[in-house]
Structures are given as structure tokens and as C-alpha cells.
């Protein structure tokens, strides 16, 4: 099936995304924020995991993040964002377990259009979701 919104992914659920540590920064008030490039993928598919299916943030950090780090050969942090908010930012969310060891909790965010949107539009969506993403404490 092509890009679509999977309605079995409930609005009250939370998504986690592994993020490079240098993509976190402090704003002018000293609050930690995430750079928009953390959600900007050239293929317009942003890989995430459903926390409710990974034993929560601790399960994601314990079981999923080390595998991603090993594959990328890089230490990562992560951030969370609500499914409801991701959809409000213009993303569809659907499962793609085949892209991460057949793990059912693996999903991608993509634009709600069936055709790719412009890079400028996608960057705007990435900036909006990064603004609301919550950095997980180190």
C-alpha cells in the first residue's frame, strides 16, 4: 500500500525519533529545543516508533535506540511527539515494520498529499513538528 494514514495508530499515542545530539540546542531563554533538520528527510518519510508498542520511553531507549545507533555508527538522543500533533502538522502516519527488523512499532511520517510536496513545504512541516517535539532527558 502507498502512503496513507493508518487509523489504527491512535491520536493519543506518542512517537519517538532518534536524533543526533548536535541537533539539540538551547533557545534564547535557555530551553532545550530541536533543530528542524531532525525531522527533515529527503525522501519525505520520517522514521519514528510508537512508544506504546516499545514499552514506553524506557523501552525505546533500552531496546530500539541501541540498534539504530549501531546501524548508524553514531550515538543518539531522542525526542517524542504526539500522534495527534503530528497529524495536525500535516503528516500521515503509517506502519513500515519492514524498514526496521519487522518491528511493528516502526512507522513513518509523510506529507498528507499523495504526491511529494515541495522541499520548502516539507521543511516548513519539519520545522513545525520540531518546535513541539519534546527532548528526552539525557
Residue 54 structural domain:
14-20+35-135
d(CA 62, CA 39): 22
d(CA 88, CA 83): 9
Total domains in the fold of the chain: 1
User: What pTM was estimated for this model as a whole?
Assistant: 0.93
d(CA 29, CA 48): 28
* Residue 1 within a domain: no
Q: What does the pLDDT profile of the chain (138 residues) look like in tens digits?
A: 678 999 999 999 999 999 999 999 999 999 999 999 999 998 999 999 999 999 999 999 999 999 999 999 999 999 999 999 999 999 999 999 999 999 999 999 999 875 668 888 989 999 999 999 999 986
Amino acid at each position: 500500500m502507498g502512503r496513507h494514514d493508518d487509523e489504527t495508530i491512535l491520536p493519543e499515542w506518542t512517537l519517538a525519533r532518534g536524533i543526533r545530539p548536535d541537533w539539540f540546542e538551547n533557545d534564547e531563554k535557555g530551553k532545550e529545543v530541536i533543530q528542524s533538520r531532525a525531522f527533515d528527510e529527503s525522501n519525505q518519510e520520517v522514521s519514528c516508533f510508537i512508544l506504546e508498542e516499545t514499552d514506553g520511553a524506557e523501552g525505546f531507549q533500552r531496546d530500539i535506540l541501541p540498534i539504530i545507533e549501531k546501524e548508524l555508527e553514531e550515538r543518539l538522543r531522542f525526542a517524542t511527539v504526539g500522534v495527534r500533533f503530528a497529524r495536525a502538522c500535516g503528516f500521515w502516519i503509517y506502519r513500515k515494520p519492514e524498514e526496521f527488523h519487522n518491528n511493528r512499532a516502526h512507522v513513518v511520517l509523510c506529507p498528507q498529499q499523495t504526491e511529494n510536496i515541495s522541499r520548502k513545504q516539507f521543511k516548513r512541516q519539519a520545522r513545525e513538528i520540531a518546535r513541539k517535539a519534546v527532548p528526552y532527558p539525557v
